[in-house]
């Protein structure tokens, strides 16, 4: 019986650990011991709270006090003031940037108010290394319930929930399970896709770090449903903490009889093995992932056959994403109808997003489907950094597109995002402001896909390279109007002919920005100007009449392209200028501007 009357939760997500949260835990324990209160106060490390922007986060319960940007040096004060004397440490509380008021209870923070935690229900709440904490939260009860149902009933429940894959494609999960169930074979496999290759995405990592048992339990449920005794998690080796927590979860589940033979006395056999990926984006594609697990090159093959028919070692294989799995136990605990009551007509439940870019609250959020972009960006995200103007948000990563001002009130779901020329993707959300140049954004993604293309098929291998060259030309002010036509045409060809999803979706960032920000492309081509001021090749360094003729700039210019006599206004020879910016840094009179 635990007699703890206070719990101190310290974020043990990758973000906060890199900001010394382990040391914070040590210091807290030390000072609690000093204060002779280790019987009353429990200190534990949880998964990510999502508010990584202001990490490390420390939460004290039962009074639900949320401390931000805590350092190991603060531990003593937290213990002596909050724990011993019961006084909150004001300086470590969160201050709402708009009202400038202190908000001590996270429930009242704008960042959390509109969130709904289903897949992340235990992240930042339990100690992920302690299976009993998971069990205390009804962990593995869903598996127990499923074992009392027939396989078809389990599948029907998932179908009824309306859950769709969170790995990008949005395919109905129950239907996928049914395909694998109906394909008869002596051996079948359940695979969890934890490759998470989108730049800037960390949803899956956070789930595995904060609540690994939810994925283990869901894989066992899936194993029962489709008739598989083996599970595999394909995870990138760059996720050491997630791997460590997952390994511990699998071992503990075995020890408790929740994996292995005769699970919960039902006769079910199911076990999980971890496979490591080297972190190639294409290996997240399910056929490439399967080949990589078999020890072959991580290259996609054509579908059909789909993995449900012929997957790992040519056996029926069900591949789902981490977040998809994390939703499964809740569907059984709270019922498919409950799950289906959240979201929009065709997109049920919630979605986890990694908010990044020019937004105040960078972090991990989970929101009900159907929430608007405006709510996500302004209410949860706290608006655009430094009071700049919102320009666009990129969803769907390198396969997606941009949404703009006019889309702010569109409810976010799979179909609406597609209709707007973007996609849900796995949940990366990168916010851009007026200083972001859209052709440059498209170029950024093409650099990524060109680099990550596996090279197996020509349209993608050569096509992405050509697209990138065209974008480089345009952003250097050397593009022509014909280039725009070629961009469009080539994009379409690649979409139609590439072998796998990587190539088929690689042109999306171009098509989407061409569509929405055509003017910006034109400005680069016709006026040789970058309206956002991001493309350095198109900038000019110009000396204005604030110049007093001190000659400092002329002396620092590496190509000697600044001329002028002492005490006279100087001039930059634009033909020769290499845009190094040295002159601007040197001028003490702010007479040199970049435009």
Ligand X SMILES: Cc1cc2nc3c(=O)[nH]c(=O)nc-3n(C[C@H](O)[C@H](O)[C@H](O)COP(=O)(O)O)c2cc1C
- Residue 409 or residue 489: which is nearer to ligand SF4 going by CB? 489
Question: Is residue 196 a contact residue for ligand X (CB under 6 A)?
Answer: yes
Site residues for ligand SF4, 67-106, by CB under 6 A, read none
Q: Show the tokens assigned to 376.
A: 């996500």
Quick check: helix, strand or coil at residue 310? coil
Question: Is residue 542 a contact residue for ligand SF4 (CB under 6 A)?
Answer: no
Question: Is residue 169 a contact residue for ligand X (CB under 6 A)?
Answer: yes
Q: Which residue has the tokens 């709904």?
A: 116
CB 390 within 8 A of CB 359: no
Count of residues that interact with ligand X, criterion CB under 6 A: 23
**Judged by CB under 8 A, which stretch of 239-247, 252-260, 414-422, 503-511 contacts another protein?**
252-260
What phi, psi does 102 have (nearest 5°)?
Answer: -80, 130
Among 280, 282, 554, 572, binds ligand X (CB under 6 A): 282
Question: Is residue 328 a contact residue for ligand X (CB under 6 A)?
Answer: no
Count of residues that interact with ligand FES, criterion CB under 6 A: 15
| Beta partners for residue 66, in sequence order | 59
Cα 117 to Cα 365: distance, rounded to the nearest angstrom: 8
Handedness of CA 408, 410, 412, 416 (dihedral sign): negative
Size of the chain in residues: 595
Q: Which of the choices ligand X, ligand FES, another protein, none does residue 162 contact, using the CB cut-off of 5 to 8 A by kind?
A: none
Question: Is residue 324 a contact residue for ligand X (CB under 6 A)?
Answer: yes
Other C-beta atoms within 10 Å of 578: how many? 12
CA 588 to chain centre: 43
Question: Is residue 581 a contact residue for another protein (CB under 8 A)?
Answer: no
Question: Is residue 500 a contact residue for ligand SF4 (CB under 6 A)?
Answer: yes
Shortest spacing between CB 50 and ligand FES, in angstroms: 6
- Residue 127 or residue 195: which is nearer to ligand X going by CB? 195
- Distinct helix (H) and strand (E) counts, the chain: 24, 20
Among 27, 65, 115, 206, binds ligand FES (CB under 6 A): 206
**Judged by CB under 6 A, which stretch of 11-19, 254-262, 374-382, 577-585 contacts ligand FES?**
11-19
26 HSE (CA, 13 A, CB side): 8
Site residues for ligand X, 421-440, by CB under 6 A, read 426
**Judged by CB under 6 A, which stretch of 12-20, 193-201, 226-234, 575-583 contacts ligand FES?**
12-20
Question: Is residue 57 a contact residue for ligand FES (CB under 6 A)?
Answer: yes
Q: Show the tokens assigned to 297.
A: 């090159």
Q: Which residue has the tokens 């894959």?
A: 165
Helix %, strand %, coil % of the chain (to 5): 45, 20, 40
Q: Which of the choices another protein, ligand SF4, ligand X, none does residue 105 contact, using the CB cut-off of 5 to 8 A by kind?
A: another protein
Among 282, 290, 367, 403, binds ligand SF4 (CB under 6 A): 282
Assign 3-class secondary structure to 427-478.
Answer: CEEEEEECCCCHHHHHHHHHHHHHHHCCCCCHHHHHHHHHHHHHHHHHHCCC
Question: Residues near 285 by Cβ (< 8 Å), separated by ≥ 6?
Answer: 300, 500, 501, 502
Rg of the chain over CA atoms, in angstroms? 27
Question: Is residue 581 a contact residue for ligand SF4 (CB under 6 A)?
Answer: yes
Q: Show the tokens assigned to 158.
A: 């998932």
Site residues for ligand FES, 544-563, by CB under 6 A, read none
Other C-beta atoms within 10 Å of 519: how many? 10
Question: Is residue 501 a contact residue for ligand X (CB under 6 A)?
Answer: yes
Question: Is residue 349 a contact residue for ligand X (CB under 6 A)?
Answer: no
Question: Is residue 570 a contact residue for ligand SF4 (CB under 6 A)?
Answer: yes
User: What mask, x for binding another protein by CB under 8 A, covers residues 63 to 102?
Assistant: xx------------------xxxxxx--------------
Site residues for ligand X, 197-226, by CB under 6 A, read 197
Question: Is residue 125 a contact residue for another protein (CB under 8 A)?
Answer: yes
Q: Which of the choices ligand X, ligand FES, another protein, none does residue 468 contact, using the CB cut-off of 5 to 8 A by kind?
A: none
Q: Which of the choices ligand FES, another protein, ligand SF4, none does residue 577 contact, using the CB cut-off of 5 to 8 A by kind?
A: ligand SF4
**Judged by CB under 6 A, which stretch of 47-55, 139-147, 162-170, 527-535 contacts ligand X?**
162-170
Cα 40 to Cα 6: distance, rounded to the nearest angstrom: 6
Question: Residues near 70 by Cβ (< 8 Å), separated by ≥ 6?
Answer: 24, 56, 57, 58, 78, 92
What phi, psi does 5 have (nearest 5°)?
Answer: -115, 0
B/e letters for 378-413, b = 16+ CB within 10 Å, e = fewer, are bbbbbbbeeeeebbbbbbbbbbbbbbbeebbebbbb
Cα 87 to Cα 11: distance, rounded to the nearest angstrom: 22
**Judged by CB under 6 A, which stretch of 320-328, 387-395, 454-462, 525-533 contacts ligand SF4?**
454-462
User: Residue numbers of the site for ligand SF4 (CB under 6 A)?
Assistant: 282, 300, 453-457, 460-461, 498-500, 502-503, 541, 543, 547-553, 556-557, 559, 561-562, 570, 572, 577-583, 586-587, 589, 591-592
User: Residue numbers of the site for another protein (CB under 8 A)?
Assistant: 1-7, 9, 37, 40, 61-64, 83-88, 105, 107, 125-126, 130, 132-133, 135-138, 140-141, 144-145, 147-148, 255-258, 264-265
User: Residue numbers of the site for ligand FES (CB under 6 A)?
Assistant: 11, 13-16, 48-52, 55, 57, 202, 206, 364
User: Residue numbers of the site for ligand X (CB under 6 A)?
Assistant: 165-169, 171, 193, 195-197, 281-282, 284-286, 319-321, 324, 426, 500-502
């Amino acid at each position: 019986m635990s007699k703890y009357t206070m719990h101190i939760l310290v974020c043990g997500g990758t973000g906060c650990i890199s900001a010394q949260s382990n040391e914070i835990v040590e210091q807290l324990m030390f000072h609690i011991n000093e204060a002779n209160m280790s019987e009353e106060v429990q200190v534990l490390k949880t998964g990510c709270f999502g508010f990584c922007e202001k990490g490390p986060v420390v939460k004290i319960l039962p009074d639900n006090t949320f401390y931000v940007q805590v350092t190991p040096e603060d531990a003593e004060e937290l213990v002596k003031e909050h724990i011993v004397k019961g006084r909150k440490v004001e300086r470590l509380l969160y201050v709402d940037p708009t009202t400038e008021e202190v908000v001590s209870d996270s429930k009242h923070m704008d960042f959390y108010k509109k969130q709904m935690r289903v897949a992340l229900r235990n992240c930042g709440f339990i100690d992920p290394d302690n299976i009993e904490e998971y069990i205390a939260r009804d962990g593995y009860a869903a598996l127990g319930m499923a074992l009392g149902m027939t396989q078809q009933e389990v599948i029907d429940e998932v179908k009824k929930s309306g859950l769709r894959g969170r790995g990008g494609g949005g395919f109905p999960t129950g239907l996928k399970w049914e395909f694998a169930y109906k394909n008869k074979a002596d051996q079948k496999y359940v695979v969890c896709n934890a490759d998470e290759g989108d730049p800037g995405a960390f949803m899956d990592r956070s789930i595995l770090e904060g609540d690994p048992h939810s994925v283990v339990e869901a894989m066992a449920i899936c194993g029962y449903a489709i008739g598989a005794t083996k599970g595999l998690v394909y995870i990138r080796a760059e996720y050491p903490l997630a791997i460590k927590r997952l390994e511990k979860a699998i071992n503990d589940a075995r020890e408790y009889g929740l994996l292995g033979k005769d699970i919960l006395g039902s006769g079910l056999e199911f076990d999980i093995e971890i496979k490591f990926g080297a972190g190639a984006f294409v290996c997240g594609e399910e056929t490439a992932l399967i080949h990589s697990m078999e020890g072959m090159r991580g290259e996609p093959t054509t579908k059909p056959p789909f993995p449900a028919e012929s997957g790992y070692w040519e056996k029926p294989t069900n591949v789902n994403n981490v977040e998809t799995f994390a939703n499964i136990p809740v569907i059984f605990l709270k019922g498919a109808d409950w799950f289906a009551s959240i979201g929009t007509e065709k997109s049920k439940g919630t979605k986890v997003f990694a908010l990044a870019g020019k937004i105040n609250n960078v972090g991990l959020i989970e929101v009900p489907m159907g929430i608007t972009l405006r709510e996500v960006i302004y209410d949860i995200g706290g608006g655009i950094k430094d009071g700049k103007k919102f320009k666009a948000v990129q969803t769907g990563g390198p396969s997606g597109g941009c949404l703009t001002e006019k889309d702010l009130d569109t409810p976010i779901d799979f179909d609406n995002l597609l209709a707007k020329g973007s996609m849900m993707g796995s949940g990366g959300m990168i916010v851009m402001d007026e200083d972001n140049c859209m052709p440059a954004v498209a170029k950024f993604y093409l650099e990524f896909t060109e680099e990550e293309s596996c090279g197996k098929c020509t349209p993608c291998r050569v096509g992405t390279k050509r697209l990138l060259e065209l974008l480089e030309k345009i952003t250097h002010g050397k593009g022509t109007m014909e280039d725009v036509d070629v961009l469009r045409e080539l994009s379409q060809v690649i979409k139609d002919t590439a072998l796998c999803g990587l190539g088929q979706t690689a042109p999306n960032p171009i098509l989407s920005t061409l569509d929405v920000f055509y003017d910006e492309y034109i400005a680069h081509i016709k006026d040789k100007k970058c309206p956002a001021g991001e493309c350095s090749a198109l900038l000019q360094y110009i000396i204005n009449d604030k110049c007093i003729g001190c000659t400092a700039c002329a002396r620092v210019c590496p190509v000697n392209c600044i001329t002028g006599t002492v005490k006279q206004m100087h001039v930059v020879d634009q033909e020769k200028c290499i845009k190094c910016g040295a002159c601007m840094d040197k001028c003490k009179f702010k007479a040199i501007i970049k435009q």
